[in-house]
A and B are shown apart, each in its own frame.
Chain A
Amino acid sequence: MVHHDTLTGAEILLKALVDQGVEVIFGYPGGAVLPIYDELFKQNRLRHVLVRHEQAAVHAAEGYARSTGKVGCVLVTSGPGATNAVTGLADALCDSVPLVCLTGQVPTHLIGNDAFQEADITGITRPCTKHNYLVKDVNDLAKTVHEAFHVARSGRPGPVLVDLPKDVVQAKGEYQPPSKVKSKYKPQVKGDLKAIEKAVEMIAHAKRPIFYVGGGVVNSGPAACQLMTQFVRMTGYPCTLTLMGLGAIPGSDPLFLGMLGMHGTVEANMAMHDCDLMINIGARFDDRVTGKLDGFSPKSKKIHVDIDPSSINKNVAVDLPIVGDCAHVLEDMIKVWKAKQCRVDEKALKAWWAKIDQWRATNCLSFENSNKIIKPQYAVQRLYELTRHRNPYFCTEVGQHQMWAAQHLKFDLPHHWLTSGGLGTMGYGLPSAMGVQMAHPEALVINIAGEASIQMNIQEMATLVQHRLPVKIVILNNQYLGMVRQWQELIHGGRYSESHMIHHPDFVKLADAFGAVGLRAEKPGEVDEAIKEMIAVDRPVILELRTDASENVFPMIMPGMAHNEMVLGPEDKGRDKPGSEQDGMVLV
């Protein structure tokens, strides 16, 4: 008789996680997952980070995944544990972050019975996960977990949820190793070679080309980023990056025009508007990028490389779509380019750069500095200059500080910039920094925050201290929900409805209460010293910088406007122009 080892569901689960290369789990225990936590207690292959709120567990796993390229892993209990994780899952779906979220569930015989801490979490998360599973038989458990990891990391990455009823993890069953599991899910990674040849031909013949590169290249991995940089440099064409794409090519490269979109640079947005060929690699024509659709790059032919066919022709009709993984397609493009000995049109390119240099000369990210009050842009610039030698990882929350960080930090390496782009989740930064620091214990990890966003997951300070994660948090405190205030000033007649938080905690004392270090700077002259002190400390730090409350993020494409209709600053009259009101065509 063949003897098969039978294991409990919890043992099977942990064995599957180890076989999938999981090293760290971010989680929070509860009734339905107690058998799993009991198994965790008995082993030491998997480390567990005990967060203070389940949303933070998911963002931490996102930080871990995005800074390593591995699949992040989350373990939470049923009911409220699982529903608290929903925001994180939606965030990971929007930004294509590979995660596996394991949720406890009430025993199978109680499902549908309104049992204690029961929630229909596969129902709730269906639209905010890439896929989800409810495991009803312990003998399906290993196979399901392996497939979940495969789905999370393959194709366009995303979060996958596996719901685990308590009786299933307690039952005994058989383990199957990953090699025994065949998944039917096989997304296309190689691009169509004919289309790639056509694309190369279009690229070689362009007169006013631009590379518009997004998070798909970063997600595809370091090889894709290297190939992207190589191709941009081979052609000598200008390249702009989306918020999610920052780091895909080095930020210090002269061919890089800066970020594009609502708060992008003049040179990036104008070049997008006036180009004759747009080469979109791994970006998705997001509404924050395109502005008014009928005014979006009206004179260009468009090539679009994306691993997700549903991204193609969704917002903007393109002339040449290529479905495939960015690394594969770029590799083929470079091969074809070399094989055909393509030459760019040097004369046209020179004229195009001359035009771009004129736009660059507007120096659109400049600001009026002050020696009395800390300008937020100045704070970000000093932070960059004083830390760049350590190749720090930067996380952000969401709002004005996020845009200033995107504008003024430069990333020469991919996977060092973590921000919530698609969903725009306030409270993302601190927990994601936690995940980054877990993955890179020796690295300098900085979370740039606003005083409002940081309070959305401030409880994770305790996690940092408990797990000795020396994350540095820089709060640009302007007393307002800054981006809301900016829109109210510019669009809603200066009626600051509920955007002024009159009371804030004393962040220095707060840091102290958590057992971290608190620092504060109130004058521009104090900024450098404070930053140096912060990075010298080998513990979690909150550095509060009191910044100018009235500062706005510029340039700005106002709602309903096109790329060539940017508002450059507070003096620019363009802000009074009415935007298009055509339904569905405007930024909201």
Chain B
Amino acid sequence: MQVTNAIQEVNRHTIAVLVDNESGVLARVIGLFSGRGYNIESLTVAEVDAGEKLSRITIVTSGTAMIIEQIKNQLRRLVPVHKVHDLTIEGPHVSRELALVKVVGTGDKRVESLRIADIFRARAIDSTNESFVFEVVGATDKVDAFIKLMEPLGLTDVSRTGVVAIARGPNPI
């Protein structure tokens, strides 16, 4: 059997999963990934419909086309899972991540961190004489870039939400 490179190519996919908000559902999803050896690059979850008790999980994962198809089908097999949508292949989507970034320093470095924060439209949401906590929102690579630039300026702590994503246009998943 000849295997072409296209089939073996590993790509990153953002998958939206609508689940019943019941105890153990997150453990089922995470257990599925660890039990079958799939990657989780990021995972976010929160209730999105209190009336119907539905939560939305956004998973960023990577794999070959065959593995990604497996991941989606395995997710669909879980009884509390209602919808599985691969935002990466189903059309354009927007994705955002929020990070809280703590930078400690004084003098020029402190000024420079503020200037860069301004360029990235990051907000200082906490401040002392020797530190800032910045809130930065954007696509993953923008957040990555911001954190990288803060490294030499006294970066001491980072907390990231992981990716949330939604399809462009009027249609829900």
Contacts and interface: CB of A to CB of B under 8 A. Distances in A.
Interface of A: 122-123, 126-127, 130-132, 134, 151, 184-185, 293-294, 296, 298, 308-310, 312-314, 317
Interface string B28-43: 1001100100000000
Interface of B is mostly: helix
Interface in B19-61: 20, 23-24, 27-28, 31-32, 35
Given A134-B23, A298-B1, A313 B70 contact: yes
A312 B73 contact: yes
B76 A184 contact: no
Contacts of A310: 70, 73-74, 76-77
Interface string B1-32: 10100010000000000001001100110011
A535 B36 CA distance: 46
Closest 7 CB pairs of A and B: A310-B73, A131-B79, A309-B73, A310-B74, A294-B1, A127-B35, A310-B77
Contacts of B69: 313
Interface string B64-76: 0010011001101
Contacts, number: 42
Given A130-B79, A296-B1, 7 more contacts: A122-B24, A127-B32, A132-B24, A134-B23, A308-B77, A309-B77, A310-B73
A296 B1 CA distance: 8
B70 to A, nearest CB: 6
A185 B28 contact: no
B168 interface: no
Contacts of B32: 127
6 contacts: A130-B79, A184-B82, A296-B1, A308-B73, A308-B77, A313-B69
A185 B66 contact: no
B28 A126 contact: yes
B100 to A, nearest CB: 31
Given A131-B79, A313-B66, A126 B24 contact: yes
Given A151-B79, A309-B76, A317 B66 contact: yes
Nearest to B23: A134
A185 B79 contact: yes
A310 B20 CA distance: 21
Interface residues of B, number: 21
Interface in B71-107: 73-74, 76-79, 82
Contacts of B1: 293-294, 296, 298
Interface of A is mostly: mixed
Contacts of A312: 73
A127 B24 contact: no
A293 B66 CA distance: 15
A421 B167 CA distance: 43
A2 to B, nearest CB: 26
Nearest to A317: B66
Nearest to B24: A122
A184 B76 CA distance: 13
A437 to B, nearest CB: 32
A313 B7 CA distance: 12
A74 to B, nearest CB: 19
Contacts of A314: 70
Contact of B27 (A126, A293, A294): A126
In this complex, the member of B27, B31, B70 whose beta carbon has the largest number of chain A beta carbons within 10 angstroms is B70
Nearest to A130: B79
A183 to B, nearest CB: 9
A313 B69 CA distance: 8
Nearest to A323: B73
Contacts of A296: 1
A298 B3 CA distance: 12
Contacts of A294: 1, 3
B2 to A, nearest CB: 9
Nearest to B1: A294
Contacts of A184: 20, 82
A123 B76 CA distance: 20
A294 B7 CA distance: 14
Nearest to B34: A127
A540 B77 CA distance: 41
Contacts of B74: 310
A446 B154 CA distance: 75
A310 B66 CA distance: 11
Contacts of B79: 130-131, 151, 185
A313 B82 CA distance: 22
A122 B24 CA distance: 9
A123 B78 CA distance: 15
Contacts of A123: 24, 27
A314 B31 CA distance: 18
A127 B23 contact: no
Given A294-B1, A298-B1, A308-B77, A126 B31 contact: yes
Contacts of B70: 310, 313-314
A563 to B, nearest CB: 13
A122 B79 CA distance: 14
A184 B81 CA distance: 10
A92 to B, nearest CB: 16
A127 B74 CA distance: 12
A132 B24 CA distance: 9
A123 B70 CA distance: 23
Contacts of B35: 127
A127 B76 contact: no
A436 to B, nearest CB: 29
Contacts of A293: 1
A322 to B, nearest CB: 14
B13 to A, nearest CB: 16
A122 to B, nearest CB: 6
A112 B78 CA distance: 25
Nearest to B3: A294
Contacts of B31: 126-127
Contacts of B27: 123, 126
Nearest to B70: A314
A127 B20 CA distance: 18
A130 B28 CA distance: 11
A317 B70 CA distance: 11
A90 to B, nearest CB: 12
A130 B1 CA distance: 34
Nearest to A309: B73
Contacts of B3: 294
Nearest to A160: B79
A507 to B, nearest CB: 40
A81 B9 CA distance: 47
